[in-house]
Amino acid sequence: MIVYEATKEKFVEDVINNQIAKNIERLYRMRIGSRVNPREVKAWENSMQFMNIVLNDKSIPNNSGIAIEYRIPYTSKRIDFIITGKDDMKRRTAIIIELKQWSEAEVVSGKDGIVRTFLAGARREVPHPSYQAWSYAAYIEDYNETVRKEEVIVQPCAYLHNYEEKKSPVILSKVFDNYIKKAPVFISGEALKLRKFISKYVKSGDNNEALYIIENGKIKPSKSLQDSIASMLKRNPEFILLDTQKLVYETAMKNARLSYKDGKKRSLIVKGGPGTGKTVLAINLLADLTNEYMVCHYVTKNAAPRNVFETKLTGTFTKTNIHNMFKGSGTYVESGYNDIDVILADESHRLNEKSGMFSNKGENQIKEIINASKFSVFFIDETQRIHIKDIGSVDLIEKYLKEYNAQYEILELESQFRCNGSDGYLSWVDDVLEIKETANKFDLDIDYNIEVIDNPNELRKRIVKLNKTNNKSRLVAGYCWDWIKEGQNDSEVHDIVIPEYNFEMSWNLGNSQTWAIDENSVNEVGCIHTAQGLEFDYVGVIIGNDMRFENGHIVTDYTKRAKTDQSMKGIGTLIKSNKKKALKLADEIIKNTYRTLMTRGQKGCYIYCEDKPLANYIKSRIKMCNVAKQEYEFAPAEKVAALRIDKKAMTNKKNVQK
């Protein structure tokens, strides 16, 4: 959808008459149906004056097409400025221009194509303008079949008219050469350079022909995109389907084909614990449905899983065109009914109500995904809800599916690929953390390395040593330490400090997107937000004072969480209105957090507890399992009583063994 469309001649007239921002705002309200932030109106006034200077020259034909605020199909992203025409070979051309008001920026270490700048009242990490412009052009080329058939040349670039290289050279840094070559960036004082760039591709006007093709083109993924992701999948054995994954895959493929054909809403709810292969299944569906010309998106709330699996597919940390297939859960706020063929919502337990930078957009992400897609798949594990804003549940998904009269099934992935292939370990963790009572009180059901280590320095040494084999071991911790290193490059500043052991480390948050696979990230501690949805060979878990062992039971304490942890934001307000509900929610979040962290390792989990009674309790539970395994007998009765373990349950299990 194009908000403002005109010829160059009309655009120049609107700018000279000081009507351009007013016209864009009026058309935006009419076509998008929402109000415009005053800051955005001011940005239009400013940027369009600069674009007028660039375009107001005879070298650029008056009947060239102009589009402002073009919303890319099936996304909430908008292209700032497009100018169209024909080159010297009479080929239709569309130049995408990403406009920025920035005056400075910083490089973000360890993140490809990302910079930090002042935006919306705070310093934020955002894509480099050249990357942004290139990704928009790639999306149009990959998904607009008519653009491809009519051979419209899409050329991206960026214009930062307030940006001075002397004050801040970062934007032109060689670090971003890969994207600047694809989408040149022009800064303050380079209006004539940008004009020359445009006139190189626009030799004659087209009376908005290319804009019509872009606006009304048939949306279908390109063969090159299909081949690209299919070949990536085939050469990566990590994405092979096993057991019940195959059943869910075939069911999903069948329903997706039906919905693609008849337009009726269908959905699958796929339940599965840690390591049951939810993401592997989703990536296979993404590739194969795209190969059948369906517009398909892989969606997560958290950016870390998206970036890690995208990187694993491509084999490089550099973004490629398949990046446009990986979306955040707030993408569909402005989407229409059945806009997208298939949405694969991984980690659906992490979905929120509101979207946007300030959580002020949309109504409900579950509802928006169902509304936007003909066929949807929700991969969910309700025991991994770890944030006060997480609303994803099977019941809520069912509720909205029924509202949309969607046909749906609920399937469950049972095979366990994490924790050495055992559901027994997961049940044991549930029992130990008192999440729920299970039959695995005394039996890990596997040959799995689990140990409580009394010194955090020893824990670190153990993980660092294990990591040398294949870079698949990591340290993680409960979010009980503030992120004090934000914006600092001082290597002597540490976030996680345990004074009695002279233990000091930093959070990974400087590079959360690919921390799980970065070469040196074993030297940083991951939090729940960067570890969830990912897996390692071995994991070292630091349990903070938000979880303790008192009076024979696990207790949680939300007041020990870091002030910088957003997962508990709002709990204090909720306590004032409903203390019982708030404490129950906080208890669930904290226990789910540690359950998730303790189940990241495929081969082993090593634990350090700040609370010594908790360390002793977990040790005793591990010892009881070892005794049962070695002697086929239970721990002595007095130890069992001390841990408040039900004697009747113990006797029943003993009788079964006999």
Q: How far is it, in rounded angstroms, from Cα 608 to Cα 459?
A: 7
pLDDT of residue 638: 45
Low-confidence winner among 121-130, 138-147, 264-273 (lowest mean pLDDT): 121-130
Per domain, the residue ranges of the chain are 2-216, 223-413, 433-657
Q: Report, as an integer, the average pLDDT of 457-469.
A: 96
Question: C-alpha dihedral over 456, 459, 465, 471, to 10 degrees?
Answer: -100
The CATH number of 223-413, from 3.20.20.70, 3.40.50.300, 3.90.10.10, 3.55.50.30, is 3.40.50.300
pLDDT score of 537 more than 80: yes
pLDDT of residue 531: 85
Q: Report, as an integer, the average pLDDT of 293-316.
A: 84
Of 381 and 492, the one with more pLDDT: 381
Query: What 3-state class would DSSP assign to 375?
Result: strand
Q: How far is it, in rounded angstroms, from Cα 50 to Cα 162?
A: 10
Instruction: Please compute, for residue 268, the number of CA atoms within 13 A of its CA located in the half-sphere on the CB side.
Output: 28
Q: Which residues contact 190 (CB under 8 A, 6 or more apart)?
A: none
647 falls in which pLDDT band (50, 70, 90)? very low
Q: How far is it, in rounded angstroms, from Cα 515 to Cα 520?
A: 9
Residue with tokens 């955040």: 328
Residue with tokens 């002793």: 616
A 10 A CB-CB count for 441 gives 22
Q: How far is it, in rounded angstroms, from Cα 574 to Cα 579?
A: 7
Of 436 and 130, the one with more pLDDT: 130
Q: How far is it, in rounded angstroms, from Cα 593 to Cα 602?
A: 17
pLDDT score of 465 more than 80: yes
Residue with tokens 């109000």: 35
Q: Report, as an integer, the average pLDDT of 388-408.
A: 95
* Rg, Å, the chain Cα set: 27
Q: How far is it, in rounded angstroms, from Cα 333 to Cα 310?
A: 24
pLDDT of residue 32: 81
pLDDT score of 591 more than 80: yes
Q: Could you say which DSSP state residue 636 is in?
A: P
Percent residues over pLDDT 90 in the chain? 60
pLDDT score of 218 more than 50: yes
End-to-end CA distance of the chain: 71
| CA distances in angstroms from 501 to 352, 455, 466, 491, 497, listed in the order given | 39, 7, 22, 19, 9
pLDDT score of 418 more than 70: no
A 10 A CB-CB count for 24 gives 21
Residue 217 structure tokens: 């083109």
pTM for the structure as a whole: 0.73
Characterise 207 by phi-psi region: left (phi > 0), alpha (psi -120 to 50), beta (else). left
122 falls in which pLDDT band (50, 70, 90)? confident
pLDDT of residue 308: 80
Closest CA to 376 of 333, 336, 398, 345: 345
Diameter of the chain by CA atoms? 95
